[in-house]
Amino acid sequence: MLKVKKTPHLLPAQRRLMERFGENLRLARLRRKLSAVRVAERAGISRRTLLSIESGAPTAAMGNYFQVMRVLGLEKDFELLARDDEMGRKLQDMELTPKQRAPKRKSEG
């Protein structure tokens, strides 16, 4: 049975984000003076997969992107992805209702 790989359909703006991310990884590799072969070996992926990642291919597995980041010493940047969920917080805040306070007591006196 032939396994068909589905290509995610990205909007042009999303595609450009992926391409910039791949380019950033490529530049990080070059700054460290590491060859594509060496990074691929250390990440446990093929050189071809690394080149796909560096071109921002949406078909490359997220785990492979992470492995490349790890080899480059950028794995902590992975925590920054989706960290600031501004829209989610706004949606959540819209559903929160302020607690009703008990009426103030009348002072005796």
pLDDT at 40: 98
Residue 2 lies in a domain: no
pLDDT at 109: 57
CATH code of 72's domain: 1.10.260.40
Task: Single out the residue of 55, 48, 50, 51 nearest to residue 22, CA to CA.
Answer: 55
27, 77, 62, 44 alpha-carbon torsion, rounded to 10°:
60
Residue 89 lies in a domain: no
pLDDT at 2 > cutoff 80: no
| 21 vs 84, more confident | 21
Q: What is the mean pLDDT of residues 63-77?
A: 95
Residue 34 lies in a domain: yes
Residues 24-67 pLDDT 10s? 999 999 999 999 999 999 999 999 999 999 999 999 999 999 99
Domain that holds residue 78: 12-82
Is the whole-model pTM more than 0.85? no
Residue 57 lies in a domain: yes
Q: How far apart are the first and last CA of the chain?
A: 88
Residues 8-22 pLDDT 10s? 888 999 999 999 999
Residue 108 lies in a domain: no
Residue 87 lies in a domain: no
Residue 1 lies in a domain: no
The structural domain count of the chain equals 1
Residue 41 lies in a domain: yes
Q: How far apart are CA 70 and CA 67, in angstroms?
A: 5
